[in-house]
Amino acid sequence: MPFIPHTDTDVREMLAAIGADSIETLFDEIPAALRVDGLNAIPPAVGEMEITRLMEARAAQDVMGLNFIGAGAYEHHIPAAVWQIVTRGEFYSAYTPYQAEASQGTLQVIYEYQSMMAGLTGLPISNASLYDGASALSEAVLMAVRANRRSKSQRVLMPLTVHPAYRSVTRSIVASQGIEIVDVPFDPATGRVDPAALEAFAGEDITALVIPQPNFFGVLEEVDALTDWAHANGAQAIGVVNPVSLALLTPPGAWGRQGVDMVVGDGQPLGAPLSSGGPYFGFLCCRKEHVRQMPGRIVGRTVDADGRPGFVLTLQAREQHIRRSKATSNICTNQGLVVTAATIHMALLGPEGLERVAGACVEGCGSLVARLRERGFEIPFTDERFHEFVLRVGVDGEALLERMAAAGVLGGHALGRDYPELSDAILVCVTETKTAADLDRYVAVLEQARADLAG
């Protein structure tokens, strides 16, 4: 049997030590009427050779072509060293560092990760990570409700420029806790939060304002003004950011006069492959005064009985295994392995490397926008953006993307499902992975697909 080492002799000796006459005897506390008689939907066992052949065939079936889809998951170069180290058994097959003395590797990695995230975001406290960016936003909303003791309304302003799936996940998670998520529309001219729409809430009891940077359309929001607006109105400011962009952009800890209260995002661009949407990780950083409201694990540096420095899980009194129904969250894992990848990835790129990646994204994106404008395409909203843009294609976005995929180019993400007014528009992403020739090919395939559809 796979992965079971027992010989017949072992079994005999073990049963003798137990005083049982068969393995079956060990199940005698399970009522007989409940016993199941065979599993039918599970196929018979296969060997490693057969499963390898099967999986290789299935992986080969999904030909991705040249990818210009972003929308929350971004294709970046990942150094070979990252996953070779991450999949070492000592990282891969360890568990939560409950026994700190025997887990200093994992604990130090998390401490270094927390340090790097604090440096990128400009906020002093990072937790050890959450599941993904969307669930991290939900946790930040819950955290803001706990932290903002002056606000009684539990109303959170959520711009429509925040990733639609993040909004949807946040609603799923906070729905039953009496928290009201209020949409804030965007200005159709700029693609930014509509300042007039926001101003309509001035003076009301608002618990928090969510501020995306860049926003879902790739557009840069006026984050200083939004952060200051939130604080002037007694609301917590929650940033939602792309971590790679922070190599170039103002850290959320420095937005406006005071900086945001907390910031979240998806860590995927820092070394996690696209991998059909996961595993990624969510990051959450906050100001020092909010640390006790932080959900999830946190690693701290301390000393041992001999005075030597080392690392432990700390502030565990916030967590479910201690506080049970009064915990800050039910979360008990972090995305340890992916965080390990991100830490190694950031160390390998360094400040300049990461800045070059972010810069190449900005430049490549601008370059594709210029090519498309030359060909007469309409690109709405402001040109102040990071690495994504909205492209009006004049035909149904989903149909166009199917055509482009058939020609070997994943042309972007259709916007019609989430923004009916943008059903003839797609969201396009360019990262450092795209060459000038790739951009030319994009334009050619796009024009052909559009012509085919129009004709």
Partner 1 sequence: MLIFERSRPGRRTPSQAPAGRADVAALPERFRRRRPAPLPEVSELDVVRHYTRLSQKNFSIDTHFYPLGSCTMKYNPRVCNSLAMLPGFLRRHPHAPESVSQGFLSCMFELQEMLKDVTGMQAVSLTPMAGAQGEFAGVAMIHAYHKARGDEGRTEILVPDAAHGTNPATATMCGYAVREIPTDASGDVDMEALKAAVGPATAGIMLTNPSTLGVFERRIHEIAQVVHDAGGLLYYDGANLNAILGKVRPGDMGFDVIHMNLHKTFSTPHGGGGPGAGAVGVSERLKPFLPIPVVGQEGERYRWLTERDLPQSIGRLSAFAGNAGVLLRAYVYMRLLGREGMPKVADYSTLNANYVMARLRSLGYDLAFPERRATHEFIVTLRRQAKEQGVTAMDVAKRLLDYGFHAPTTYFPLLVPECLLIEPTETESKETLDAYVEAMAKILEEAAAEPGKVKGAPYTQPNRRFDEVRAARELDVAWQPEAC
Interface residues for partner 1 in 305-324 (CB under 8 A)? 305-306, 308, 310, 312, 314-315, 317, 319-324
Neighbours of 329 (CB within 10 A): 18
**Least distance in Å: CB of 200 to partner 1?**
25
Q: Which of 377, 404, 407 is nearest to 391 (CA)?
A: 377
* Residue in the block written with tokens 């058994």: 89
Told to check if 258 binds partner 1 by CB under 8 A, we report no
Identified binder of partner 1 from the candidate list 21, 98, 150, 421, rule CB under 8 A:
98
Distances (CA, A) of 118 to 68, 112, 136, 246, 286: 30, 10, 16, 11, 9
Cα(344)–Cα(87) distance, rounded to whole angstroms? 12
Q: Which of residues 120-139 bind partner 1 (CB under 8 A)?
A: 120, 124-126, 128-129, 131-135
Specify the pairing of strand 236-241 against strand 208-213: parallel
Burial 354-377 (b: 16+ CB within 10 A, else e): beebbebbbebbeebbebbeeeeb
Alpha-carbon distances of 373 from 317, 377, 388, 429, 441, rounded to whole Å:
56, 5, 15, 16, 15
* CA-based nearest residue to 410, from 63, 20, 41, 100: 63
* Residue 275 sits in the site that holds partner 1 (CB under 8 A): yes
Site for partner 1 in 9-68 (CB under 8 A): 10-11, 13-15, 17-20, 23, 26-31, 33-36, 38-48, 51-52, 54-65, 67
Q: Is 188 in the site for partner 1 (CB under 8 A)?
A: no
For partner 1, the closer CB: 36 or 150: 36
- Which residue, 234 or 274, is less far from partner 1 as judged by CB? 274
Give 184 or 243: the residue with its C-beta nearer to partner 1.
243
Instruction: Write down the least CB distance from residue 8 to partner 1, Å.
Output: 12
Between 83 and 217, name the residue whose CB sits nearer to partner 1: 83
As measured in angstroms, the least distance from the Cβ of 209 to partner 1 is 19
Length of the chain equals: 455
Q: What DSSP element (H or E) covers 442?
A: helix 436-454
Closer to partner 1 by Cβ: residue 65 or 234: 65
- Cis peptide upstream of residue 420 (ω within 30 degrees of 0): no
Please list every residue from 422 through 451 that binds partner 1, using CB under 8 A. 432
CB 423 to partner 1: min, Å: 15
Report the amino acid identity of residue 96.
T
In the complex, minimum distance from the CB of residue 180 to partner 1, in angstroms, rounded to a whole number = 14
- Calpha distance 372→378 (Å, rounded): 8
Q: Residue 196 interacts with partner 1 (CB under 8 A)?
A: no
Give the nearer residue to partner 1 in terms of CB position, either 208 or 354. Answer: 354
Q: Does 362 engage in binding with partner 1 (CB under 8 A)?
A: yes
Are 10 and 23 in contact by the 8 Å Cβ rule? The answer is no
Q: Which of 119, 133, 146, 128 is nearest to 290 (CA)?
A: 146
- Out of 156, 173, 193, 284, the only residue in the binding site for partner 1 (CB under 8 A) is 173
Q: Which stretch binds partner 1 (CB under 8 A): 154-162, 196-204, 218-226, 436-444?
A: 218-226
Closest CB to partner 1 among residues 164, 234: 164
Cβ nearer to partner 1, comparing 61 with 376: 61
Verify binding: residue 372, partner 1, rule CB under 8 A.
Answer: no
Residues 321-350 that bind partner 1 (CB under 8 A): 321-327, 329-338, 340, 343-344, 346-350
Task: Decide: is 293 part of the binding site for partner 1 (CB under 8 A).
Answer: no
Q: How would DSSP label each residue in 359-372?
A: HHHHHHHHHHHHHH
